[in-house]
Structure 1
Amino acid sequence: MTEETSSQFSLFKDCIARRVMAHPSMSSEADDSLDDFSAFLASEAWSTLPSSLKSATNETKSAVPDLENIPLDTLSGAFTDTLLSYEIAADEDEVMKFLRRALEEYIEEACAAPPVWVRTRAEECEICGRAVPLTYHHLIPRSTHTKVLKKGWHSENMINSVAWLCRSCHSTVHRAASNEDLARYFYTVELLLEREDIQKWQKYAAKQRFGVKWKASHHKDLPPDA
C-alpha cells in the first residue's frame, strides 16, 4: 500500500467527522459544511502522518507505531488554527487531544479483523446505503445475551439478529450507545435510525465515496490560513 491508500484516508476522515459532529459548536452546521470541513481537517493531518500509519491494516498492524511514538509536532498550522478558530479546541494541547483520539479510532478501525463470515448477506450498508465492504453488527451485542434473556428484554429467537453495516457506520453505532442500551433500546436498524445522532451521521456517510481520497483543491471556502 502507498501513502495514497484511499480507503485508509476515508476511514481517517470519518473518524475526524465523528469528533467534529460531537462538538457543541458544530451542531448547527449544515451537512455539506461538515463534510467539507472534516475533509479539510483530515487532509491537513494526513500529510504529516508516517506511511506505516497511513497503510495500516489488520495484516500490517504489528508495524503500526504506538501513538506515543508518533511525532505530531509537524502538524499543519492550518489544522491547529482551524480547530482554535471554530472553538473546537481551546488551546494547542486540546488540538493534540482531538487528533490523538481521532487517530486512536482510526487505528482501531483500520486494524480490525475482517468479519468471520467472508460473504456478506447484503450488498449495501443498512445505515448509509453505500455498496461497500460490510461487517455484521450484532443488534443485541453478544456481551449482553445472558442479561437480555434473564431480564426478558427479548425472546431467544431475536438474540442473534444482525445488521450489515460498513466499518464506519458500525463504529459509529457502538460509539453512540453502550452495549446494554443497544440491546435494550436500539435492537433494530429502524430504532437506531430514530436517533438524531445516527440520522446526522447517515446523511454525512451516504455522501462519501468509498475509495476516493479528498483533495484540498475541492474545498472552495477554506479558512484564511489554509
Structure 2
Amino acid sequence: MSQVKSGKCVCCSRITYLTFHHLIPRKMHRRAFFKKHYSKEQLASGVLVCRQCHNGIHRFYDEMTLAKQLSSLSRLKADAALADYFAWVSRQRIKAVTKHQ
C-alpha cells in the first residue's frame, strides 16, 4: 500500500499519516508453513498504523516472531513491550496533517 493516508493510528490513537502493517510480514508469505496454513487473504491482511508505531513494531520483534506470535492487532496491543511503546508514542507531538492530492 503505497498511498499516504491520514487517519487514526490503531496503536497509539494519534491522528496522523498512516502506513500499512501486514499482520504476517510479507517476508514470511513465501515460506511453506505460511502458504499451507493461511489463505492469500489472511496473508494480505493488515492494519493502518503511524510510521512511528510501525517502526517500533519492527524494531522490537523480527518477522518470524511477528508472524507466529503477534499476527493480530489484539496480540500486538496486548504485548507488554509494545503497549508501553504505543503509550509513549501517543504522548509524542505529530506534524500537522495536511491533505496531499
Q: Provide the TM-score with structure 1 as the length reference.
A: 0.39
Higher-Rg member (1/2): 1
Mapped pair 1:127 → 2:11: yes
Once the 2 structures are TM-superposed, how far is the Cα of residue 180 of structure 1 from its aligned partner? 1.2
Distance 2:95 2:17 in 1: 11
Deviations 1:131-159 (A, max 9, x none): 01111111111110122113x2x333211
Give the AA of the match of 1:131: I
- The structure with the largest strand share of the pair is 2
d(CA) in 2 for partners of 1:204, 1:136: 21
* Structure 2 equivalent of residue 91 of structure 1: none
Q: What RMSD over aligned residues (CA atoms) do the two structures have, in Å?
A: 1.8
Pairs within 5 Å for 1:1-226: 116-118=2-4, 120=5, 123-147=7-31, 148-150=34-36, 152=37, 154-211=38-95
Amino acid at match of 1:117: Q
The C-alpha deviation readout for 1:84-138, integer Å capped at 9, x for no partner, is xxxxxxxxxxxxxxxxxxxxxxxxxxxxxxx6123x3x71011000001111111
Q: Given residue 173 of structure 1, which amino acid in structure 2 is its aligned partner?
A: I
> For 2:43 and 2:3, how far apart are their aligned partners in 1?
18
Q: AA paired with 2:16?
A: V
Using the TM superposition, give the Cα deviation of residue 160 of structure 1 relative to its aligned residue in structure 2, in angstroms: 0.3
Work out the number of aligned pairs and report it. 94
TM-score by length of 2: 0.82
More relative contact order, 1 or 2 (CA 8 Å, 6+ apart): 2
Runs of 4 or more consecutive aligned structure 1 residues displaced over 3 Å after TM superposition? none
Deviation (angstroms), 1:211 = 2.7
User: Structure 1 stretches of 5 or more lacking a match?
Assistant: 1-114, 213-226
Distance in structure 2 (CA, Å) of the matches to 1:184 and 1:155:
15
Distance in 1 of aligned mates of 2:61 and 2:92? 23
SS of 2:44 mapped into structure 1: coil
Higher helix fraction (1 or 2): 1
How far apart, in 2, do the equivalents of 1:211 and 1:131 lie? 10
SS in 2 for 1:199: helix
